[in-house]
Structure 1
Amino acid sequence: MKIKFLLIVLVFGFATKSIAQKFENLAPTPPMGWNSWNSFECEGVNETVIKEMADAMVEKGLRAAGYEYIVIDDCWQIGRDDNGYIIVDKDKFPSGIKSLADYVHSKGLKFGIYSDAGTKTCAGRPGSKGFEMQDAETYAKWGVDYLKYDWCFTEGQEAIASYTLMRDALYKAGRPIVFSLCEWGENKPWEWGKEVGHLWRTTLDIDMNGRYDGNIWGNLIGWSDLVDMQVGLEKYAGPGHWNDPDMLAVGNNDMPENEARAHFSMWSMLAAPLMAGNDLRTMNATDQHILTHKGLLEVNQDVLGKQGFKIVDLGNFEIWQKPLSNGDVAICFFNRDIATKTYEVDWTKINIKDFSAEDVYQIKDLWADKMMGNTGEKIAIEVPSRDVIVYRLSK
């Protein structure tokens, strides 16, 4: 009897292990795409908007630059049927989600959707608690490629168990889906998220105003405050598992060009997922240039998969480093002050990791798109107010 029981346990254990995992090789570099929430929230999202965003992603050159996911955030769902399967809001999405996913795929893009680990979504729509398998099966049937999974209305729930439950349901449903854990960093998902999802939020939501107020950008959780919250988390990120400081605010609420450039640069240095949230249809040329900047995207998408880290902190002036493949290094001079910062760069004294004074690196200013000599000489720089200079160093 004991032998029989042991065999049952072993068989069950192997069977459980066979489905208890996430899909691998789906996010070797940080995911890039667009999410509906920042511009349209609940009231404005609908089928027409999503189709037009997919069209604009192609027409404005974002797809060519590497953006691939079109993600519907909250407010696409309205109830459940007698078998627990989710019901689509037909007023907003009259053709259904499967048809919309097919349209997005026809544009050479991938399709994402949203749910919540709790009983309700953050907007009060039906959450996935107790219906994980039905939802995973539905997403697979619809052709979903990406799931953002929120953390509202989860009173009494344990984060690791809740997210693992959906991870296993997705795997059992059989369609490879990038799993984005929107847990807000409350339960330190960087310590356990690698085995559960492909990216995890490390913070609460970004402030969409993104405007300068005193010595802090933004008045809710400004994007530069989110940068501070990433310090020390670099060891947890890498290919297939990324720290996520939330979506981009570039192009929202008239964010000034200098702040947009600095914001995008720091997300690139942090190897953060790049999920745009502006209205791509009406995007101006400046924001388009920032979001599709080849040099910064190459830093963000570098296959080495290293998150950048701070190497110098002078209060309102910081220097950040991001190791790149082929021995290259990205260096970002980040001026958080309201005044221009003049700084003499002595490459041998700014604590660049794995940097040898015997090695001479060529310097390229990425935003200016020009070569700046080499690291054998000191250089004087001026970093404008609330802006950055980003160099790529190559041996």
Structure 2
Amino acid sequence: MRHLPVRTPPGGVAGRVVGALAAALLATTGLAAPAAAHSDGTPPSPATAAPADPLAEGLAPTPPMGFNNWNSTHCRADFNEAMIKGIADIFVEKGLKEAGYEYVNLDDCWAKPQRDADGKLVPDPVRFPNGIKAVADYVHSKGLKFGIYTSAGTKTCNPAGFPGGLGHEYSDAKQFADWGVDYLKYDNCNNLGVDAKLRYKTMRDALRATGRPIVHSICEWGENRPWEWAADVGHLWRTTGDISDSWGSMLSIMKQNLPLAPYAGPGHWNDPDMLEVGNGGMTDTEYRTHFSMWSVMAAPLLIGSDLRKATPETFEILGNREVIAVDQDRLGKQGAVLSSEGGRWVVTKEMADGGRTVALFNESGSPQRIATTAEAVGLPDAPGYRMRDLWQHRSSHTTGTISATVPAHGTVLLRVAPDEKWAGLPPAVELTADGSPTAEEGRTAGIVSTVADLGRTPVRDVSVSLAGPAGWTAVPASRPSVPVLQGGARLRTEWKVSVPDGTDPGTYDLALTAKYRTPQGDRTAVTAPVGVRVVVAPPAGVSQLSDLGWMSAANGWGPVEKDRSNGESGAGDGRPITIGGQAFAKGLGVHAASTVEYYAGGKCSGVTARVGLDDEAGLRGTVAFEIWADGRKAASTGTLTNVMPSQPISADVSGAQVVRLVVTDGGDGIDYDHADWADAKLSC
């Protein structure tokens, strides 16, 4: 759940005072329940408390898979009984159940704002006219499991303030068990500063006391480092703040979760939040990356899109059983980062069969070749390796090189293992293009393509072609074909690409294709992404960056705004830029993690701005600002907070082709990190 203003801060003087008051309140009211319960839901003697091993319970031996409505509906009126039943139907009809999805979970807003006279939770009679048990029974009738939501505080995270579980853990847990709940998402709002371990252990014990197996999903946003203490408290724990349906948000959360690989395993999983696949804020390429990386990270796969409206492409991504098998591998290892230089990520996951899944992930905005080796990912020496592309559903052999040209924001996902029968597979053929050139309209861009045989056997009748949009020309300046390409050999071809006069700025995709005949006699082809960025040279003199068009922009929440702050949602929803009470008419409003790129063309000398956290974020947020000139960090501020006035930043960008404005979270996670590049200027 999004960190809403109703949340109680966990630390600081205020947090300590509230925590002390909460402790006194719990002590005087008897709400600090022990770990077991009588049949009426009240706790008996603490002596009966007996922590259980999650694996002994048989719960979540692999990461939970299912659905949660929050990312697609929030508290809209269409979140109701009919929707949840419809999702259960779709799970069966579309093969998602067979693919491994089993939990159909409710999020916030399912209850009435007040408990009844007996202190029990009451389902909203408009949303759920037949009650929660009827919905759970329907879900169970489909061979699926049912989940519900509450918060480890006095109220849930929604501003309407639905009842939370603090002080009601045992009665709520019994009520959930009576309804047939199989999964509880336990949030973090309005927690009165009560120690997180106490709050979540109390609910753990209450759930166990019911005698019903219920997965315990700890949703305290990673604030108290639950990966260090929650392995016997919950079956999964959130490691980050809430995800949003944007590339920047997904990327930031992925980067926070990746280093936590040592803490994950059967029955206890790192949870980087639910899936956004299909909600419309990212491209299908980005959604495939989202799904690939969550699977490599052994993350729970909880669908967050409204499947009643999902496209065939969304079902294709969510239903890819080869990728799902990576997530659900019984060994339970989370993938570990092998390298990440230049936005070229290699993440490898050990599998139960002794092989490795290798994610080649391209963080950058241009296609890049990403490569590693079988030895580097931990495989033993062998004459040949089977390499399976899990999105192309194609197998080949390699002598040990694991590589691909990966599109911008894309991921190539491969399963690799030694194979004595490697000779029966065609050799892996890699097609690459050096760089992603930038050209002004009416000019020529140079591209070099390479066809490489990565196996031990030759391919024949090899030819390569490059085609651009209508009006473009791509002419080879060296040979584009060979009769035989031996194992380990390469065909390198230079191309001259002409950009027509009058071409609008933007990135244009070109089709690079290599055709060849395998040793088995099959005629086949491989393609590689190539993009040419058509740009406009910046005007001479000093320009406000908000008056110029950017090459690319990525934001943690909402779009990058011109001359407005970031409102986290749609374009134009921010306010006038204000830092420390000082208003600015011009600038960029962003939200960490953020990157905005401008074309400088080697003609500009400097960037200046006043930077800081926008006043609309209140007392929350910490960020850091950076200016990059091509691959060089030209300036940075260090960490800034909301109590600081605007800070000056300037950078020498002489000779740079591309200038990047970067905002990070300041190292403490993303929480209302509304950042402003006020009065940002480029001198050329």
Give the corresponding residue for 1:70: 104
TM-score (normalised: structure 1): 0.90
Is residue 279–residue 305 contact of structure 2 (8 Å, CA) maintained in 1? Answer: yes
- SS of 1:103's equivalent? helix
Matched, 1:308 2:345: no
2-structure distance, mates of 1:340, 1:40 = 34
Deviation for aligned residue 1:380? 5.2
1-structure distance, mates of 2:281, 2:220 = 28
Give the corresponding residue for 2:207: 170
Deviation for aligned residue 1:362? 1.1
Unaligned regions of 5+ residues in structure 1, if any? 1-10, 211-216
Deviation for aligned residue 1:54? 1.1
Give the corresponding residue for 2:312: 285
Mapping of 1:80-119 within 5 angstroms?
80-119=115-154
Is residue 20–residue 168 contact of structure 1 (8 Å, CA) maintained in 2? Answer: no
* Structure whose CA Rg is larger: 2
Is residue 258–residue 297 contact of structure 2 (8 Å, CA) maintained in 1? Answer: no
Please tell me the residue identity of whatever aligns with 1:61: G
1-structure distance, mates of 2:402, 2:415 = 15
Deviation for aligned residue 1:58? 1.3
Query: Which of 1 and 2 has higher RCO (CA within 8 Å, sep 6+)?
Result: 1
1-structure distance, mates of 2:362, 2:410 = 6
Give the corresponding residue for 1:336: 363
Change (3 A) 1:120 1:379: closer
Please tell me the residue identity of whatever aligns with 2:221: W
Give the corresponding residue for 1:363: 387
Is residue 72–residue 304 contact of structure 2 (8 Å, CA) maintained in 1? Answer: yes
Among residues 16, 23, 26, which one is paired with 2:49 in the alignment? Answer: 16
Please tell me the residue identity of whatever aligns with 1:26: L
Change (3 A) 1:135 1:13: closer
Matched, 1:327 2:354: yes
Unaligned regions of 5+ residues in structure 2, if any? 1-43, 419-684
User: How big is the alpha-carbon RMSD for the aligned residues of Structure 1 and Structure 2?
Assistant: 1.7
Among residues 352, 358, 382, which one is paired with 2:377 in the alignment? Answer: 352
Give the corresponding residue for 2:412: 389
Change (3 A) 1:357 1:70: same
- SS of 1:166's equivalent? helix
Mapping of 1:1-395 within 5 angstroms?
14-17=47-50, 24-44=57-77, 45-78=79-112, 79-123=114-158, 124-208=161-245, 210=246, 217-218=247-248, 222-348=249-375, 351-353=376-378, 355-358=379-382, 360-374=384-398, 376-378=399-401, 381-395=404-418
- SS of 1:28's equivalent? coil
Deviation for aligned residue 1:328? 1.2
Deviation for aligned residue 1:83? 2.0
Is residue 21–residue 171 contact of structure 1 (8 Å, CA) maintained in 2? Answer: no
Is residue 207–residue 223 contact of structure 1 (8 Å, CA) maintained in 2? Answer: yes
2-structure distance, mates of 1:377, 1:328 = 13
Deviation for aligned residue 1:385? 1.0
Deviation for aligned residue 1:321? 0.2
Give the corresponding residue for 1:6: none
Please tell me the residue identity of whatever aligns with 1:108: G
Deviates more, 1:37-46 or 1:197-206: 37-46
TM-score (normalised: structure 2): 0.53
The structure with the largest strand share of the pair is 2
Is residue 73–residue 113 contact of structure 1 (8 Å, CA) maintained in 2? Answer: yes
Change (3 A) 1:196 1:346: closer
1-structure distance, mates of 2:384, 2:238 = 38
Please tell me the residue identity of whatever aligns with 1:76: W
Please tell me the residue identity of whatever aligns with 1:299: V
Deviation for aligned residue 1:347? 3.5
Change (3 A) 1:278 1:346: same
Please tell me the residue identity of whatever aligns with 1:316: G
Post-superposition CA distance 1:47-86 (Å, at most 9, x none)? 1111111111211211111100000000011121222111
1-structure distance, mates of 2:265, 2:53 = 18
Post-superposition CA distance 1:15-63 (Å, at most 9, x none)? 222x677672110000000001011111231111111111112112111
Deviation for aligned residue 1:358? 4.2
1-structure distance, mates of 2:234, 2:382 = 41
Is residue 21–residue 196 contact of structure 1 (8 Å, CA) maintained in 2? Answer: no
Alignment coverage as a number of residue pairs: 370
Give the corresponding residue for 1:3: none
1-structure distance, mates of 2:147, 2:305 = 17
Please tell me the residue identity of whatever aligns with 1:77: A
Post-superposition CA distance 1:332-354 (Å, at most 9, x none)? 10001111112454444xx313x
Deviation for aligned residue 1:179? 0.5
Deviation for aligned residue 1:360? 3.9
